[in-house]
Protein backbone atom coordinates (compact mmCIF):
# COMPACT_ATOMS: atom_id res chain seq x y z
CA UNK A 1 0.00 0.00 0.00
CA UNK A 2 1.25 3.46 -0.83
CA UNK A 3 1.28 6.22 1.74
CA UNK A 4 1.02 9.40 -0.26
CA UNK A 5 -1.80 10.83 1.85
CA UNK A 6 -1.44 9.00 5.17
CA UNK A 7 -0.41 11.08 8.14
CA UNK A 8 -2.01 14.31 6.92
CA UNK A 9 -5.19 15.56 8.60
CA UNK A 10 -5.26 12.38 10.68
CA UNK A 11 -7.95 13.87 12.93
CA UNK A 12 -10.36 13.89 10.00
CA UNK A 13 -11.93 11.07 8.05
CA UNK A 14 -10.21 10.58 4.70
CA UNK A 15 -12.61 10.22 1.78
CA UNK A 16 -11.72 9.44 -1.83
CA UNK A 17 -14.28 10.49 -4.41
CA UNK A 18 -13.94 8.62 -7.69
CA UNK A 19 -15.84 10.46 -10.41
CA UNK A 20 -16.23 14.23 -10.50
CA UNK A 21 -19.13 14.80 -12.83
CA UNK A 22 -22.13 16.86 -11.74
CA UNK A 23 -22.91 14.74 -8.68
CA UNK A 24 -19.41 13.64 -7.74
CA UNK A 25 -17.98 17.14 -7.79
CA UNK A 26 -20.91 18.50 -5.75
CA UNK A 27 -20.51 15.79 -3.12
CA UNK A 28 -16.76 16.35 -2.98
CA UNK A 29 -17.37 20.04 -2.26
CA UNK A 30 -19.83 19.31 0.55
CA UNK A 31 -17.38 16.82 2.06
CA UNK A 32 -14.61 19.42 1.94
CA UNK A 33 -16.88 22.02 3.56
CA UNK A 34 -17.55 19.53 6.35
CA UNK A 35 -13.82 19.46 7.10
CA UNK A 36 -13.11 15.97 5.83
CA UNK A 37 -9.85 15.05 4.15
CA UNK A 38 -11.04 14.79 0.54
CA UNK A 39 -9.07 13.54 -2.42
CA UNK A 40 -10.63 13.26 -5.87
CA UNK A 41 -9.99 11.48 -9.12
CA UNK A 42 -11.66 11.54 -12.50
CA UNK A 43 -10.89 9.63 -15.67
CA UNK A 44 -10.69 13.03 -17.40
CA UNK A 45 -8.32 14.93 -15.06
CA UNK A 46 -9.48 18.38 -16.13
CA UNK A 47 -12.90 17.69 -14.60
CA UNK A 48 -11.33 17.10 -11.17
CA UNK A 49 -8.85 19.97 -11.12
CA UNK A 50 -11.34 22.76 -10.20
CA UNK A 51 -12.02 20.97 -6.90
CA UNK A 52 -8.57 21.93 -5.65
CA UNK A 53 -9.98 25.42 -5.05
CA UNK A 54 -12.53 23.84 -2.69
CA UNK A 55 -9.88 22.13 -0.58
CA UNK A 56 -9.83 18.71 -2.21
CA UNK A 57 -6.58 17.15 -3.32
CA UNK A 58 -6.55 16.05 -6.93
CA UNK A 59 -4.97 12.64 -7.45
CA UNK A 60 -3.27 11.63 -10.65
CA UNK A 61 -4.66 8.10 -10.46
CA UNK A 62 -7.53 6.28 -8.79
CA UNK A 63 -5.04 4.19 -6.81
CA UNK A 64 -3.38 7.34 -5.49
CA UNK A 65 -6.75 8.80 -4.53
CA UNK A 66 -7.76 5.81 -2.39
CA UNK A 67 -4.40 5.23 -0.71
CA UNK A 68 -4.96 5.79 2.99
CA UNK A 69 -8.65 6.55 2.53
CA UNK A 70 -11.15 5.43 5.15
CA UNK A 71 -14.07 5.72 2.74
CA UNK A 72 -14.24 5.48 -1.05
CA UNK A 73 -17.25 7.05 -2.75
CA UNK A 74 -17.95 6.18 -6.38
CA UNK A 75 -20.08 8.58 -8.43
CA UNK A 76 -19.62 7.70 -12.08
CA UNK A 77 -21.93 6.94 -15.01
CA UNK A 78 -22.98 3.29 -14.79
CA UNK A 79 -22.04 -0.17 -13.58
CA UNK A 80 -19.27 -0.64 -16.15
CA UNK A 81 -17.71 2.69 -15.16
CA UNK A 82 -17.90 1.71 -11.48
CA UNK A 83 -16.05 -1.54 -12.16
CA UNK A 84 -13.41 0.29 -14.17
CA UNK A 85 -12.89 2.89 -11.43
CA UNK A 86 -12.67 0.27 -8.69
CA UNK A 87 -10.25 -1.85 -10.69
CA UNK A 88 -8.05 1.20 -11.29
CA UNK A 89 -8.18 2.03 -7.58
CA UNK A 90 -7.54 -1.52 -6.34
CA UNK A 91 -3.72 -1.25 -5.94
CA UNK A 92 -4.18 1.54 -3.41
CA UNK A 93 -7.04 0.06 -1.37
CA UNK A 94 -6.49 -0.97 2.23
CA UNK A 95 -8.27 -3.87 3.92
CA UNK A 96 -11.38 -2.72 5.71
CA UNK A 97 -11.91 0.36 3.56
CA UNK A 98 -15.59 1.29 3.35
CA UNK A 99 -16.96 1.59 -0.18
CA UNK A 100 -19.98 3.85 -0.53
CA UNK A 101 -21.23 3.05 -4.04
CA UNK A 102 -23.43 6.03 -4.96
CA UNK A 103 -23.73 5.54 -8.72
CA UNK A 104 -27.13 4.49 -10.09
CA UNK A 105 -26.47 1.04 -11.53
CA UNK A 106 -28.61 -1.90 -12.56
CA UNK A 107 -29.96 -4.39 -10.05
CA UNK A 108 -27.90 -7.10 -11.70
CA UNK A 109 -24.70 -5.03 -11.29
CA UNK A 110 -24.83 -4.83 -7.50
CA UNK A 111 -24.00 -8.44 -6.48
CA UNK A 112 -21.00 -8.39 -8.84
CA UNK A 113 -19.76 -5.13 -7.33
CA UNK A 114 -20.20 -6.53 -3.82
CA UNK A 115 -18.21 -9.61 -4.81
CA UNK A 116 -15.47 -7.37 -6.23
CA UNK A 117 -15.33 -5.52 -2.92
CA UNK A 118 -15.12 -8.75 -0.94
CA UNK A 119 -12.29 -10.03 -3.11
CA UNK A 120 -10.26 -6.95 -2.12
CA UNK A 121 -11.19 -6.95 1.57
CA UNK A 122 -13.38 -3.86 1.15
CA UNK A 123 -16.72 -3.37 2.95
CA UNK A 124 -19.46 -2.70 0.40
CA UNK A 125 -22.40 -0.35 0.80
CA UNK A 126 -25.04 -0.05 -1.91
CA UNK A 127 -25.82 3.67 -1.52
CA UNK A 128 -27.40 5.51 -4.47
CA UNK A 129 -28.53 9.07 -3.80
CA UNK A 130 -31.71 10.96 -4.59
CA UNK A 131 -31.36 14.48 -5.85
CA UNK A 132 -29.81 16.51 -8.62
CA UNK A 133 -27.14 19.19 -8.83
CA UNK A 134 -28.78 21.75 -6.52
CA UNK A 135 -29.45 19.41 -3.57
CA UNK A 136 -26.04 17.80 -4.04
CA UNK A 137 -24.29 21.16 -3.82
CA UNK A 138 -26.30 22.02 -0.70
CA UNK A 139 -25.62 18.70 1.01
CA UNK A 140 -29.34 17.93 0.89
CA UNK A 141 -29.41 14.60 -0.93
CA UNK A 142 -31.35 11.62 0.36
CA UNK A 143 -29.16 8.55 0.62
CA UNK A 144 -30.65 5.09 0.15
CA UNK A 145 -28.28 2.64 1.77
CA UNK A 146 -27.79 -1.03 2.50
CA UNK A 147 -24.74 -2.50 4.18
CA UNK A 148 -23.31 -3.79 7.46
CA UNK A 149 -24.61 -2.05 10.56
CA UNK A 150 -21.31 -2.42 12.43
CA UNK A 151 -19.51 0.20 10.31
CA UNK A 152 -22.27 2.76 9.93
CA UNK A 153 -20.89 5.05 12.64
CA UNK A 154 -17.70 5.41 10.61
CA UNK A 155 -19.77 6.43 7.60
CA UNK A 156 -21.90 8.96 9.46
CA UNK A 157 -19.67 12.03 8.83
CA UNK A 158 -19.80 11.33 5.10
CA UNK A 159 -23.53 10.66 5.03
CA UNK A 160 -24.27 13.72 7.17
CA UNK A 161 -22.19 15.92 4.86
CA UNK A 162 -23.77 14.87 1.58
CA UNK A 163 -27.35 14.28 2.67
CA UNK A 164 -30.30 15.53 4.65
CA UNK A 165 -31.26 11.95 5.54
CA UNK A 166 -30.13 8.36 5.12
CA UNK A 167 -32.70 5.60 4.72
CA UNK A 168 -31.23 2.25 5.72
CA UNK A 169 -32.76 -0.65 3.82
CA UNK A 170 -30.84 -3.64 5.12
CA UNK A 171 -27.51 -5.03 6.25
CA UNK A 172 -26.54 -6.69 2.97
CA UNK A 173 -25.36 -4.35 0.22
CA UNK A 174 -25.26 -7.25 -2.24
CA UNK A 175 -29.06 -7.57 -2.00
CA UNK A 176 -29.38 -4.35 -4.06
CA UNK A 177 -32.19 -3.23 -1.75
CA UNK A 178 -31.11 0.41 -2.07
CA UNK A 179 -30.67 0.25 -5.83
CA UNK A 180 -34.08 -1.38 -6.26
CA UNK A 181 -35.81 1.47 -4.45
CA UNK A 182 -33.70 4.05 -6.29
CA UNK A 183 -34.90 2.68 -9.63
CA UNK A 184 -38.52 2.91 -8.46
CA UNK A 185 -38.02 6.57 -7.53
CA UNK A 186 -36.19 7.31 -10.77
CA UNK A 187 -38.98 5.67 -12.75
CA UNK A 188 -41.42 8.09 -11.14
CA UNK A 189 -39.07 11.03 -11.75
CA UNK A 190 -38.63 10.19 -15.42
CA UNK A 191 -42.39 9.79 -15.80
CA UNK A 192 -43.01 13.23 -14.28
CA UNK A 193 -40.37 14.73 -16.54
CA UNK A 194 -41.92 13.23 -19.64
CA UNK A 195 -45.40 14.34 -18.61
CA UNK A 196 -44.23 17.92 -17.93
CA UNK A 197 -42.45 18.09 -21.29
CA UNK A 198 -45.46 16.77 -23.19
CA UNK A 199 -47.87 19.11 -21.40
CA UNK A 200 -45.85 22.16 -22.42
CA UNK A 201 -45.44 20.85 -25.96
CA UNK A 202 -49.17 20.14 -26.25
CA UNK A 203 -50.11 23.56 -24.91
CA UNK A 204 -47.82 25.27 -27.38
CA UNK A 205 -49.00 23.07 -30.23
CA UNK A 206 -52.63 23.91 -29.51
CA UNK A 207 -51.94 27.60 -29.10
CA UNK A 208 -52.64 27.56 -25.35
CA UNK A 209 -50.47 29.34 -22.82
CA UNK A 210 -48.39 26.76 -20.89
CA UNK A 211 -48.09 29.21 -17.99
CA UNK A 212 -51.88 29.26 -17.76
CA UNK A 213 -51.76 25.47 -17.42
CA UNK A 214 -49.30 25.79 -14.53
CA UNK A 215 -51.47 28.46 -12.88
CA UNK A 216 -54.54 26.28 -13.24
CA UNK A 217 -53.06 23.24 -11.48
CA UNK A 218 -51.08 25.25 -8.92
CA UNK A 219 -51.95 24.28 -5.36
CA UNK A 220 -54.30 21.50 -6.40
CA UNK A 221 -54.08 17.73 -6.20
CA UNK A 222 -52.44 17.53 -9.64
CA UNK A 223 -49.68 19.96 -8.71
CA UNK A 224 -46.07 19.16 -7.84
CA UNK A 225 -43.05 21.45 -7.38
CA UNK A 226 -41.24 19.24 -9.87
CA UNK A 227 -43.81 20.04 -12.57
CA UNK A 228 -43.16 23.77 -12.15
CA UNK A 229 -39.39 23.24 -12.13
CA UNK A 230 -39.21 21.23 -15.35
CA UNK A 231 -42.02 23.01 -17.22
CA UNK A 232 -40.48 26.33 -16.20
CA UNK A 233 -37.14 25.32 -17.70
CA UNK A 234 -38.83 24.46 -20.98
CA UNK A 235 -40.87 27.65 -21.11
CA UNK A 236 -37.78 29.74 -20.33
CA UNK A 237 -35.61 27.76 -22.77
CA UNK A 238 -33.07 27.11 -20.00
CA UNK A 239 -31.72 23.57 -20.18
CA UNK A 240 -28.81 23.98 -17.77
CA UNK A 241 -28.08 20.43 -16.79
CA UNK A 242 -28.84 19.07 -13.36
CA UNK A 243 -29.67 15.61 -14.72
CA UNK A 244 -29.04 15.04 -18.40
CA UNK A 245 -31.08 13.42 -21.15
CA UNK A 246 -28.20 10.96 -21.61
CA UNK A 247 -28.31 9.94 -17.96
CA UNK A 248 -32.10 9.74 -18.03
CA UNK A 249 -31.88 7.41 -21.01
CA UNK A 250 -29.40 5.22 -19.14
CA UNK A 251 -31.60 5.05 -16.05
CA UNK A 252 -34.71 4.31 -18.10
CA UNK A 253 -32.88 1.36 -19.62
CA UNK A 254 -31.85 0.08 -16.18
CA UNK A 255 -35.41 0.45 -14.87
CA UNK A 256 -36.91 -1.43 -17.81
CA UNK A 257 -34.31 -4.20 -17.54
CA UNK A 258 -34.97 -4.64 -13.82
CA UNK A 259 -38.73 -4.70 -14.39
CA UNK A 260 -38.53 -7.20 -17.23
CA UNK A 261 -36.41 -9.52 -15.07
CA UNK A 262 -39.36 -9.64 -12.63
CA UNK A 263 -42.07 -9.95 -15.29
CA UNK A 264 -43.29 -6.36 -14.85
CA UNK A 265 -44.36 -4.35 -17.93
CA UNK A 266 -43.59 -0.62 -17.84
CA UNK A 267 -45.37 1.02 -20.75
CA UNK A 268 -44.97 4.58 -19.47
CA UNK A 269 -41.26 4.37 -18.66
CA UNK A 270 -40.74 2.70 -22.03
CA UNK A 271 -42.47 5.64 -23.71
CA UNK A 272 -40.29 8.09 -21.78
CA UNK A 273 -37.22 6.12 -22.83
CA UNK A 274 -38.28 6.53 -26.45
CA UNK A 275 -38.65 10.28 -25.94
CA UNK A 276 -35.13 10.41 -24.52
CA UNK A 277 -33.86 8.43 -27.49
CA UNK A 278 -35.39 10.90 -29.93
CA UNK A 279 -34.11 13.91 -27.96
CA UNK A 280 -30.59 12.45 -28.03
CA UNK A 281 -30.90 11.80 -31.75
CA UNK A 282 -31.80 15.47 -32.20
CA UNK A 283 -28.62 16.51 -30.40
CA UNK A 284 -29.93 17.29 -26.91
CA UNK A 285 -28.30 14.46 -24.95
CA UNK A 286 -26.05 16.67 -22.82
CA UNK A 287 -28.88 19.04 -21.82
CA UNK A 288 -31.10 18.72 -18.78
CA UNK A 289 -33.67 15.98 -19.21
CA UNK A 290 -36.36 18.64 -19.54
CA UNK A 291 -34.99 18.82 -23.09
CA UNK A 292 -36.92 15.61 -23.78
CA UNK A 293 -39.47 18.26 -24.76
CA UNK A 294 -37.80 18.40 -28.18
CA UNK A 295 -38.88 14.82 -28.85
CA UNK A 296 -42.40 16.20 -29.39
CA UNK A 297 -41.35 17.79 -32.67
CA UNK A 298 -39.75 16.59 -35.88
CA UNK A 299 -36.90 19.07 -35.63
Region 214-230 average pLDDT = 97
Higher pLDDT, 11 or 189: 189
Give the sheet arrangement for strand 129-130, strand by strand: 129-130, 141-145, 163-168
Percent of the chain past pLDDT 90, that is, above it, reads 95
Backbone dihedral region of 139: left (phi > 0), alpha (psi from -120 to 50 degrees) or beta?
left
Relative to beta strand 98-101, strand 71-74 is parallel
76 and 103 in contact (C-beta within 8 Å)?
A: yes
- In this prediction the pTM is 0.93
Find the length of the chain: 299
pLDDT in the model for residue 272: 98
The fraction of the chain above a pLDDT of 70, given in percent, is 96
Please tell me the distance from the alpha carbon of residue 208 to that of residue 68, in angstroms, as a whole number. Answer: 60
Evaluate if residue 220 carries a pLDDT over 70.
yes
Provide the β-strand partners of residue 38: 15
Tell me the CA distances in angstroms from 250 to 62, 159, 256, 257, one per residue in order: 24, 25, 10, 11
**DSSP letters along the chain, please?**
---SSTTSSTTS-EEEEE--SHHHHHHHHHHHHTT-EEEEE-SSGGGTGGGGGGTPEEPSSHHHHHTT-SEEEE--SSHHHHHHHHHHHGGGPPTT-EEEE-S---TTHHHHHHHHHHHTT-EEEE--EE--HHHHHTT-EEEEEBS-GGGHHHHHHHHHHHEEEEEE--S-GGG-HHHHHHHHHHHHHHHHHHHHHHHHHHHHHTT--HHHHHHHHTTSTT--HHHHHHHHHHHHT----SSBHHHHHHHHHHHHHHHHHTT---HHHHHHHHHHHHHHHTT-TTSBGGGGGGGGS--
Whether the Cβ atoms of residue 198 and residue 230 lie closer than 8 Å to each other = no
Phi, psi of 168 (to 5 degrees): -85, 130
Instruction: Flag whether pLDDT at 230 surpasses 80.
Output: yes
pLDDT (mean) for 168-179? 98
Indicate whether 68 pLDDT > 90. Answer: yes
pLDDT, tens digit (0-9, with 9 covering 90-100), for 72-125: 999 999 999 999 999 999 999 999 999 999 999 999 999 999 999 999 999 999
Please report the pLDDT score of residue 168 as a whole number.
Answer: 98
pLDDT of residue 299: 75
Q: Which residue has the higher pLDDT, 3 or 214?
A: 214
Amino acid sequence: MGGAYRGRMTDHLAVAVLGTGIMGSAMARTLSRAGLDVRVWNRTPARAEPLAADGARVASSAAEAVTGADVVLTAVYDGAAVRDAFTAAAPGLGAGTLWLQATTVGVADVPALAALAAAHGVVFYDAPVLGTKGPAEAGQLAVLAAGPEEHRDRLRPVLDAIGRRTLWLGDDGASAAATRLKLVVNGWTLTLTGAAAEAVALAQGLGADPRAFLDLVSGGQMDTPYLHAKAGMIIDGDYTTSFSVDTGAKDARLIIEAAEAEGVHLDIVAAVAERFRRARELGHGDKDMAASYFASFDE
